[in-house]
Structure 1
Amino acid sequence: MVTSNPPTLKPRADLLRRKSVEASLASVDDPDRHLTRSLTAWDLAVMGVAVAVGAGIFSVGATAAANYAGPSVIVSFVIAAVVCGLAIMCYAEFASTIPVAGSAYTYSYSTMGELVAWIIGWDLILEMLLAAAVIAKFWGVYLSDAVALFGSTLAATLTVAGVDVAWGPVVIVAVFTTLLAIGTRLSSRVNSVFTIIKVAITLFVVVAGFFYVDSANYSPFVPPSQPAPVGTSALQQSLLSFLSGAAPSSYGIFGILSGAALVFFAFIGFDVVATTAEETINPQRTIPRGIFAGLAIVTVLYILVTVVVTGMVPYTALAASGSPSLTTAFVLVGADWAGKIISVGILVGLTSVLMVLLLGLTRVVFAMSRDGLLPRSFSRTSGRFHTPVRLQIGAGVVVAMIAGLSRVEVLEEMINIGTLSAFVLVSFGVPILRRTRPDLPRGFQVPWSPTLPILAGVACLWLMVNLTTLTWLRFAAWLVVGMAIYGGYSYRHSLVGRAQRAAADG
Structure 2
Amino acid sequence: MAPVAQRLFRIKPADMIVAEGGHGEGGELRRTMTLWQLTLFSVGATLGTGIFVILGQAVPKAGPAVVASFVLAAITALFSALSYAELAGTIPVSGSSYSYAYATLGELVAWVCGWCLMLEYAVSVAAVAVGWGEYLNRFFHDLLGWRLPASVTHSPGDQGGVFNLTAILIVLLATWLLMRGTSESATANVIFVMLKIAVLAFFCSVAFTAFNTGNLTPFAPLGVAGVTAAASQVFFSYIGFDAASTAGDEARNPKRDLPLAIVFSLVIVTVVYVAVALAAVGAMPWQQFNPGTTEAGLALIANQATGSTWAGVIISFGAVVAIASVVLTVMYGQTRILFAMSRDGLIPKIFQRVDPRRQVPVANTLIVALFISVLAGFIPLGQLAEATSIGTLFAFAIVNIGVLVLRRTRPDLPRSFRTPFFPVTPVLGVVLCVIVMLGLAGITWLAFTIWMLAGLLAYFLYGYRNSRLNRSVR
Q: Deviations over 1:90-140 (max 9, x none)?
A: 111111111111100000011011111111111111111122111111111
Query: C-alpha distance in 2, partners of 1:129/1:321?
Result: 27
Query: C-alpha distance in 2, partners of 1:409/1:51?
Result: 21
1:368 paired to 2:368: no
How much does 1:482 deviate?
A: 1.2
What is aligned with 2:187? 189
Asked if structure 1 preserves the Cα contact closer than 8 Å seen for 2:24 and 2:352, the reply is: no
How much does 1:83 deviate?
A: 1.7
Q: Deviations over 1:310-347 (max 9, x none)?
A: 22223222137543622233455655432111011111
Residues 76 and 477 of structure 1: CA distance in aligned 2, closer, same or farther (over 3 Å)? farther
What is aligned with 1:391? 364
1:8-407 superposed matches below 5 A: 13-28=6-21, 30=23, 32=25, 34-66=28-60, 68-158=61-151, 164-224=162-222, 252-319=223-290, 322-323=293-294, 325-331=297-303, 334-407=307-380
Q: What is the aligned-residue RMSD (CA, Å)?
A: 2.3
- TM-score, scaled to structure 2: 0.92
1:415 paired to 2:409: no
Query: C-alpha distance in 1, partners of 2:108/2:326?
Result: 30
Q: Secondary structure at the match of 1:446?
A: coil
- TM-score, scaled to structure 1: 0.87
How much does 1:465 deviate?
A: 2.0
Query: C-alpha distance in 2, partners of 1:213/1:468?
Result: 36
How much does 1:283 deviate?
A: 0.9
Residues 404 and 156 of structure 1: CA distance in aligned 2, closer, same or farther (over 3 Å)? farther
Q: Deviations over 1:427-475 (max 9, x none)?
A: 1111210111111111111122112111122122222222223222222
Q: Deviations over 1:480-506 (max 9, x none)?
A: 2211211222112111111111xxxxx
Q: Secondary structure at the match of 1:275?
A: helix
How much does 1:190 deviate?
A: 1.2
What code does the residue aligned with 1:50 have? Answer: G
Residues 215 and 380 of structure 1: CA distance in aligned 2, closer, same or farther (over 3 Å)? same
Query: C-alpha distance in 1, partners of 2:246/2:216?
Result: 40
Asked if structure 2 preserves the Cα contact closer than 8 Å seen for 1:275 and 1:363, the reply is: yes
Range 486-495 or range 338-347, more displaced: 486-495
Q: Deviations over 1:188-221 (max 9, x none)?
A: 0111112111111110111110122222322333
What code does the residue aligned with 2:240 have? Answer: G
Query: C-alpha distance in 1, partners of 2:345/2:260?
Result: 32
What code does the residue aligned with 2:139 have? Answer: A
Asked if structure 2 preserves the Cα contact closer than 8 Å seen for 1:77 and 1:260, the reply is: yes
Residues 407 and 213 of structure 1: CA distance in aligned 2, closer, same or farther (over 3 Å)? farther
Query: C-alpha distance in 2, partners of 1:213/1:284?
Result: 44
What code does the residue aligned with 1:44 have? Answer: L
What code does the residue aligned with 1:475 have? Answer: F
What code does the residue aligned with 1:401 have? Answer: V
How much does 1:16 deviate?
A: 1.0
Greater percentage in helix: 2
Query: C-alpha distance in 1, partners of 2:438/2:285?
Result: 29
What code does the residue aligned with 2:427 have? Answer: I
Query: C-alpha distance in 1, partners of 2:402/2:24?
Result: 30
Q: Deviations over 1:56-85 (max 9, x none)?
A: 22221221113x322222222112111212
Range 185-194 or range 71-80, more displaced: 71-80
1:468 paired to 2:441: yes
Asked if structure 2 preserves the Cα contact closer than 8 Å seen for 1:157 and 1:167, the reply is: no
Aligned residue pairs total 465
Query: C-alpha distance in 2, partners of 1:290/1:492?
Result: 37
Residues 435 and 11 of structure 1: CA distance in aligned 2, closer, same or farther (over 3 Å)? farther
Q: Deviations over 1:237-293 (max 9, x none)?
A: xxxxxxxxxxxxxxx544433322221222111122211111111111111222222
Query: C-alpha distance in 1, partners of 2:304/2:209?
Result: 14
Identity score, percent: 38
Asked if structure 2 preserves the Cα contact closer than 8 Å seen for 1:126 and 1:418, the reply is: yes
Query: C-alpha distance in 2, partners of 1:169/1:125?
Result: 19
How much does 1:375 deviate?
A: 1.2
